């Protein structure tokens, strides 16, 4: 049990910016003092004249519950000899100008259901985890040469109950997890789950960084959701916002009447575009608060990674016409990454960075920021711009597809088709595609096919898998009614098969982050808008030929250069009728012709389907094929026997 009095060393570390378990001191904790169980409150309010704790245990009157200031840097503490678990509370702070503020606890583990804003005294321990096998397997995996396909989810609008209310953390288990497993996604990324005031938001403007939002249930309920994900083989990534925070009056903003967690200078403090305040990343106590928060989610919630939001807004000073780098932010990000990786080397630290800042995913000892992944925003913007271009005009913007390969291996990239691209009038992914109804679906299948074939890990926002026609809606669930329509059902089946195909083909992920994993066959066919390339795995001759046609033309006997004198089999074609395509397939074996083409010593002649991706694989030796085929027959027979 945590003791009442903080040690001098803890206080020293906090003000030094290196108290990485500060949540064990600050906030409300049930503790023991001389055999008496009570509740300790501890808060940092450096400018306060007086601090009182008020709550449901004292009729919101703090007259007899004044905190004691333990040092000049503003750490305040009180021990109340009662077990106050479950009670509501706030800090009543008297400012230097005599104003009295009521503030939620920055370190609270739980909060009242909105629109109420009080903190709740909650004991986080006691949940029994059953994800030991997941943790063991995770330690053995090398993430860089493993498949990663992330499903990005906003819990409040993925699916709702018939009466329009939210599923709780516990209730969503039986809905979300089987769905994610069936589709083959390796991870889910949950949009911010920290306490935040507005249901109609994504959760990026937080007020309680240590409090899992109560709109979906209790902290233990969230632990169960994550635990069940792990038991099903699904990693969980949390969207996390260490750059800026909500300005609601009960939150961190002007916590003790003056800038505390935020910059003193208004030009640096105010985020005018988002209506938020920027964390003062030069302040050691803010380092202790934020880095502790990352470790807190790893420690108590077994989070597997963080998608760090708005890194660009941290790297550069805001509200300036000229880009000026922020040395405090750079130092903080390096320190953050060094700390979390020393705590758990398997953690995913993913930078959402829209700039060309160098070495974002390089180790800090090599001069990098220390993340291990970065969203490839340039790829996303260029490719979606290309897809929105009318077919006959695509030849004029050919470079929007090819440019990303010039820098594809400069960082460890994730290719995001994210929530940011389906709001604010941008249209859904399906509706971005030009052309008629059939052409929209064909081009979306092509887009997803190119996504899995391009170097980098993958991410798809919810609803994209079945062709959501509308943009994200803040008050409604996804349009599950679309499953009543054939092409949406087929799109969903296509994504399932595509993701499972991706996970089976080592050539599509083993060498994601090295140039040896990718080779152009024909990069210059702008006139026909056809791109062909090779993806390679680690083993010799483990490669795939990928051909993408971004027009509605069909070509027969089309020559494609290949590196190996072998027979080739089409192993994937997005134009398959079962996916809603036109059925322009390469059903027969394609035999290499010993005549150079596309700079390769051999070529094959194939059918190029319209608005589609076709993937070829060299066939193995005959004996090997027969053995493999017999194994498949036995396996399928076994399955039939089990079903029967």
Q: What is the CATH number of the domain that holds 239?
A: 3.20.20.80
Picking from 120, 146, 175, the residue at the C-terminal end of a domain is: 120
Same domain, 109 and 161: no
Same domain, 182 and 265: yes
Q: Which pLDDT score is estimated for 628?
A: 45
- What are 77's strand-pairing partners? 42, 68
Predicted confidence (pLDDT) at residue 637 exceeds the cutoff of 90: no
Mean pLDDT, residues 269-291: 95
Same domain, 293 and 362: yes
Contact of 42 with 285, CB cutoff 8 Å: no
Instruction: Encode 46-95 in three state secondary structure.
Output: CCCCEEEEEECCCCCCCCCCECEECCCCCEEEEEECCCCCCCEEEEEEEC
- What are 66's strand-pairing partners? 52
Q: Which pLDDT score is estimated for 200?
A: 76
Same domain, 167 and 60: no
Same domain, 84 and 165: no
Predicted confidence (pLDDT) at residue 173 exceeds the cutoff of 50: yes
Q: Cα torsion at 207, 211, 212, 214 (round to 10°)?
A: -80
Picking from 332, 349, 375, the residue at the C-terminal end of a domain is: 375
Predicted confidence (pLDDT) at residue 634 exceeds the cutoff of 60: no
Predicted confidence (pLDDT) at residue 589 exceeds the cutoff of 90: yes
Pairing state of beta strands 348-351 and 373-375?
parallel
Lowest model confidence (mean pLDDT) among 201-215, 322-336, 400-414, 609-623: 609-623
Same domain, 174 and 311: yes
640: left (phi over 0), alpha (psi -120 to 50) or beta: alpha
Lowest model confidence (mean pLDDT) among 304-313, 348-357, 617-626: 617-626
CB atoms within 10 A of CB 201: 15
> Residue 6: pLDDT band by 50, 70, 90 thresholds?
confident
Residues 500-529 pLDDT 10s:
999 999 999 999 999 999 999 999 999 999
Q: Got the DSSP string for 492-537?
A: HHHHHHHHHHHHH-GGGTTTTTSGGGEEEEE---TTTTEEEEEEE-
In a domain, 630, yes or no: no
CA 414 to chain centre: 10
Same domain, 207 and 337: yes
pTM: 0.93
> Which three-class secondary structure state does DSSP give residue 207?
coil
In a domain, 143, yes or no: no
Range of the domain at 16: 8-120
Same domain, 169 and 53: no
Mean pLDDT, residues 231-257: 97
* CA–CA distance, 624 with 603 (Å, rounded to integer): 24
Lowest model confidence (mean pLDDT) among 34-43, 234-243, 281-290: 34-43
| Higher pLDDT among residues 553 and 4, named by residue | 553
Same domain, 270 and 368: yes
In a domain, 114, yes or no: yes
Predicted confidence (pLDDT) at residue 333 exceeds the cutoff of 70: yes
User: CA angle, 103 as apex, 99 and 104 as ends, to 5°?
Assistant: 175
Q: Which pLDDT score is estimated for 2?
A: 60
Mean pLDDT, residues 605-616: 98
Domain of 101: which CATH number? 2.60.40.10
In a domain, 329, yes or no: yes
Contact of 569 with 548, CB cutoff 8 Å: no
* Tokens representing residue 329 in the block: 């932010």
Contact of 252 with 261, CB cutoff 8 Å: yes
Q: Which pLDDT score is estimated for 142?
A: 87
CA 464 to chain centre: 15
Domain count, the chain: 3
In a domain, 485, yes or no: no
> Residue 644: pLDDT band by 50, 70, 90 thresholds?
very low
In a domain, 128, yes or no: no
Quick one: DSSP state of residue 281?
A: T
Mean pLDDT, residues 74-96: 97
Same domain, 108 and 247: no
Predicted confidence (pLDDT) at residue 190 exceeds the cutoff of 50: yes
Q: Which pLDDT score is estimated for 201?
A: 79
User: Closest Cα to residue 298, out of 549, 576, 23, 47?
Assistant: 23
User: CA angle, 453 as apex, 450 and 458 as ends, to 5°?
Assistant: 85
Mean pLDDT, residues 449-477: 96
Domain of 530: which CATH number? 2.60.40.1180
| Higher pLDDT among residues 201 and 98, named by residue | 98
Mean pLDDT, residues 186-204: 90
Predicted confidence (pLDDT) at residue 626 exceeds the cutoff of 70: no
Pairing state of beta strands 50-55 and 88-94?
antiparallel
**Residue in the structure block whose two tokens are 């925003």:** 377
Same domain, 57 and 170: no
Q: Which residues contact 478 (CB under 8 A, 6 or more apart)?
A: 157, 158, 159, 462, 463, 468
In a domain, 140, yes or no: no
Q: Which residues contact 186 (CB under 8 A, 6 or more apart)?
A: 146, 147, 148, 149, 150, 234, 235, 503
Give catalytic residues, as residue numbers. Answer: 309, 352
> Which three-class secondary structure state does DSSP give residue 306?
strand
Same domain, 99 and 231: no
List helix spans (H) across 163-318: 169-183, 219-231, 266-269, 284-301, 311-315
Predicted confidence (pLDDT) at residue 625 exceeds the cutoff of 60: no
Q: Which pLDDT score is estimated for 621?
A: 61
Residues 115-149 pLDDT 10s:
999 999 999 999 999 999 999 999 998 899 999 99
- What are 573's strand-pairing partners? 614
User: Closest Cα to residue 533, out of 509, 505, 563?
Assistant: 563
Picking from 375, 402, 419, the residue at the C-terminal end of a domain is: 375
CA 94 to chain centre: 40
Task: Return mean pLDDT, the chain.
Answer: 94
Q: How many residues in the chain?
A: 644
> Which three-class secondary structure state does DSSP give residue 32?
strand
The per-type count for the chain, helices as H runs and strands as E runs, is: 15, 29
Q: Which pLDDT score is estimated for 465?
A: 98
In a domain, 138, yes or no: no
Rg of the Cα trace of the chain?
A: 27
Predicted confidence (pLDDT) at residue 97 exceeds the cutoff of 70: yes
Q: Tell me phi and psi for residue 119, to 5 degrees.
A: -80, 160
Q: Which pLDDT score is estimated for 624?
A: 43
* CA–CA distance, 316 with 134 (Å, rounded to integer): 38
């Amino acid at each position: 049990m945590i003791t009442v009095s903080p040690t001098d060393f803890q206080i020293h570390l906090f003000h030094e910016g290196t108290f990485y378990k500060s949540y064990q001191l600050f906030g409300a904790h049930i503790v023991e003092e001389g055999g008496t169980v009570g509740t300790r409150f501890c808060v940092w309010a450096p400018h306060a004249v007086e601090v009182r704790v008020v709550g449901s245990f004292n009729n919101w009157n703090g007259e007899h519950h004044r905190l004691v200031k333990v040092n000049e840097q503003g750490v305040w503490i009180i021990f109340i000899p009662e077990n106050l678990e479950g009670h509501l509370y706030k800090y009543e702070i008297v400012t230097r100008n005599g104003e009295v503020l009521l503030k939620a606890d920055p370190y609270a583990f739980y909060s009242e259901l909105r629109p109420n804003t009080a903190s709740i005294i909650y004991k986080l321990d006691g949940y029994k985890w059953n994800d030991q096998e997941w943790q063991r397997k995770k330690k053995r995996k090398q993430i860089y040469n493993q498949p990663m396909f992330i499903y990005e989810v906003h819990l409040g609008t993925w699916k709702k109950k018939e009466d329009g209310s939210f599923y709780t953390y516990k209730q969503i288990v039986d809905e979300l997890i089987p769905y994610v497993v069936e589709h083959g996604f390796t991870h889910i990324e949950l949009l911010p789950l920290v306490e935040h005031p507005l249901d109609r938001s994504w959760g990026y403007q937080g007020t309680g960084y240590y409090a899992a939002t109560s709109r979906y249930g209790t902290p233990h309920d969230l632990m169960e959701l994550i635990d069940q994900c792990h038991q099903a083989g699904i990693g969980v990534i949390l969207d996390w916002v260490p750059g800026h925070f909500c300005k609601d009056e009960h939150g961190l903003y002007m916590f003790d009447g003056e800038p505390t967690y935020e910059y003193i200078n208004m030009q640096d403090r105010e985020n005018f575009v988002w209506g938020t305040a920027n964390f003062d990343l030069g302040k050691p106590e803010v380092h202790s608060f934020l880095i502790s928060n990352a470790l807190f989610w790893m420690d108590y919630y077994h989070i597997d990674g963080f998608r760090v939001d708005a890194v660009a807004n941290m790297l550069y000073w805001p509200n300036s016409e000229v880009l000026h780098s922020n040395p405090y932010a750079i130092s903080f990000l390096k320190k953050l990454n060094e700390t979390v990786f020393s705590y758990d080397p398997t953690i995913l630290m993913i930078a959402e960075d829209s700039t060309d800042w160098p070495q974002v995913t390089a180790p800090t000892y090599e001069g990098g920021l220390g993340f291990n992944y970065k969203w490839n925003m340039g790829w996303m913007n260029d490719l979606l711009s290309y897809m929105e271009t009318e077919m006959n005009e695509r030849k004029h913007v050919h470079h929007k597809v090819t440019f990303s390969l010039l820098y594809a291996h400069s960082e460890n990239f994730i290719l995001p088709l994210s929530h940011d691209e389906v709001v604010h009038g941008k249209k859904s992914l399906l509706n971005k595609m030009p052309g008629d109804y059939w052409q929209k679906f064909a081009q979306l299948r092509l887009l997803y096919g190119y996504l899995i074939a391009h170097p980098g890990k993958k991410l798809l926002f919810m609803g994209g898998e079945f062709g959501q026609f509308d943009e994200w809606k803040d008050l409604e669930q996804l349009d599950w009614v679309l499953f009543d329509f054939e092409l949406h059902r087929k799109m969903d089946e296509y994504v399932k098969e595509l993701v499972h195909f991706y996970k089976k083909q080592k050539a599509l992920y083993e060498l994601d982050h090295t140039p040896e994993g990718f080779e152009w066959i024909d990069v210059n066919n702008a006139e026909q808008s056809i791109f062909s390339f090779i993806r390679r795995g680690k083993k010799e001759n483990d490669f795939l030929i990928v051909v993408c046609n971004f027009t509605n033309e069909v070509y027969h006997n089309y020559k494609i250069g290949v590196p190996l004198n072998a027979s080739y089999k089409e192993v994937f074609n997005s134009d398959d009728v079962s996916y809603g395509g036109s059925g322009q397939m390469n059903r027969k074996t394609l035999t290499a012709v010993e005549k150079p083409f596309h700079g390769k010593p051999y070529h094959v002649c194939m059918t190029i389907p319209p608005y589609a991706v076709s993937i070829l694989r060299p066939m193995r030796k005959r004996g090997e094929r027969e053995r493999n085929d017999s194994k498949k027959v036995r396996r399928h027979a076994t399955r039939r026997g089990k079903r029967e």
